[in-house]
């Protein structure tokens, strides 16, 4: 267990940040999972609207600091490639 005041404060801050970030991270993972399921069974219009939703979720996670900007860009790119392959 930490003994320094600064270390104790960092522990308190980390707990708060984890509680704040966990639902956002969960929503992100769920949105990506649902979009991948949509790719398997969905129609063209559903895939297009689903991509817009998952893109918004990824952008929100990047802006909140849950994901690094390049990680978000990579995920969006890969999801778009998968969607284009399905739509072609």
**Alpha carbon of residue 2 to chain centroid:** 32
pLDDT in tens, 10-55: 999 999 999 999 999 999 999 999 999 999 987 899 999 999 999 9
- Answer whether 61's CB lies under 8 Å from 32's CB: no
H helices within 1-88, ranges in order? 5-41, 44-64, 69-87
Global pTM reads 0.86
Task: State the CB neighbour count (10 A cutoff) for residue 31.
Answer: 20
For residue 29, the enclosing domain spans: 5-87
Q: Which helix (H) or strand (E) holds 2?
A: none
Number of domains the chain is built from: 1
C-alpha–C-alpha distance, residues 73 and 65, integer Å: 14
CATH number assigned to the domain comprising residue 69: 1.20.58.110
- Per-residue pLDDT reduced to its tens digit, 1-18: 789 999 999 999 999 999
């Amino acid at each position: 267990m930490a003994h320094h005041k600064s270390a104790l404060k960092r522990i308190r801050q980390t707990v708060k940040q984890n509680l704040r970030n966990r639902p956002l991270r969960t929503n992100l993972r769920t949105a990506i999972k649902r979009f991948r399921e949509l790719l398997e069974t969905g129609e063209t219009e559903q895939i297009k609207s689903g991509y817009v939703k998952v893109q918004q979720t990824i952008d929100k996670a990047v802006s909140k600091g849950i994901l690094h900007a390049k990680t978000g860009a990579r995920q969006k790119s890969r999801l778009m490639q998968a969607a284009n392959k399905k739509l072609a």
